[in-house]
Amino acid sequence: MNHPIVLVFLPAADIPSFVANGDVDLGITGHDVILEAKMQDQITEIHQLGFGKCALQVQTPENGPFKSVEDLAGKRVVTSFDVIAGAYFAKIDEQLSLTGDNRTKIQYVGGSVEAACALGLADGIESGDTMRAAGLHAIATVLQTEAVLIKSKAPHRAHHASLIDLMASRIAGVVAAGKYVVCEYNVRRESITQAAAHPTISPLEEEGWVAISSMVEKKNIANVMDRLVKIGAEDILVFNLDNCRV
């Protein structure tokens, strides 16, 4: 709130183009969207943001004849990511020496990808969602993706460079705060090497004991606490973070 910033909401697919070629300095969109827009050479991915994670997969009818992408090569594939799918199947076609009309046919469909096989439009689909309700199953993963913070490789206004870096740093701090917790505990000095990595160590009045503070990933904190108990740590406390710089 203390900087001259305008927040603009745009369709995810358009954000890479606006950041690369427009007057937008920072953007949040999917890694897959950048590749689909062919903007990877003009965009710098500053931070992975840890949300919006999904797998872009090739899926076919579960009871159908296609059990691998090689089985599907030369057939019809429907997708809303025709650039990524085209490049993926072009490599497979090349490996299998498929040329001309024998190459895999890629067709773009927006919001009805999951219905393409059942309604006779495709033999397989490429999708970012698992579509079990449509009787489909994944036979290959094309790409793992998540939301990323991006900026242009060629800054639009040089005098904004420091502000862009400052905003990127602040966003990274909030993302890290959501990923980590602070774990504090007391342990005997001889057990420090078995404690959490990169600790902050403070001496205690009781001889031979120290107080340790360490940042631990939230997803690992239960296992870390169990391990600390085993090495004799006491007074183990965990605190959430609102913001940080790491």
* Domains of the chain listed by start with CATH number: 12-51+147-177 (3.40.190.10), 54-144 (3.40.190.10), 180-240 (3.30.70.120)
pLDDT tens, N- to C-terminus, the chain (246 residues): 677 888 999 998 899 999 999 989 999 999 999 999 999 999 999 999 988 888 888 888 888 888 888 988 999 888 888 999 999 999 999 999 998 989 999 988 776 666 666 666 666 655 655 566 667 888 899 999 999 999 999 888 888 888 999 999 999 999 999 999 999 999 998 888 887 666 888 888 888 899 999 999 999 999 999 999 999 999 999 999 999 887
Residue identified by tokens 């502000």 is 163
pLDDT in tens, 176-209: 999 999 999 999 988 888 876 668 888 888 888 9
What's the pLDDT score for residue 35?
A: 95
What's the pLDDT score for residue 55?
A: 87
- DSSP structure string for 106-147: EEE-SS-GGGTTTTTS-SEEEESS--GGGTEEEEEEEEEE-E
| Cα 38 from Cα 86, distance rounded (Å) | 12
What's the pLDDT score for residue 240?
A: 94
What are the strands, taking DSSP E only, across the chain? 26-30, 43-48, 54-61, 76-79, 105-108, 124-127, 136-145, 147-152, 180-188, 200-203, 209-217, 234-240
Contact 203, 234 (CB under 8 A): no
What's the pLDDT score for residue 110?
A: 73
Residue identified by tokens 């913001």 is 243
Q: How far is CA 29 from CA 17, 35, 37, 46, in A?
A: 11, 11, 11, 12
| Cα 146 from Cα 33, distance rounded (Å) | 10
pLDDT in tens, 168-178: 999 999 999 99
Name 165's Cβ contacts closer than 8 Å, sequence gap at least 6: none
What's the pLDDT score for residue 131?
A: 66
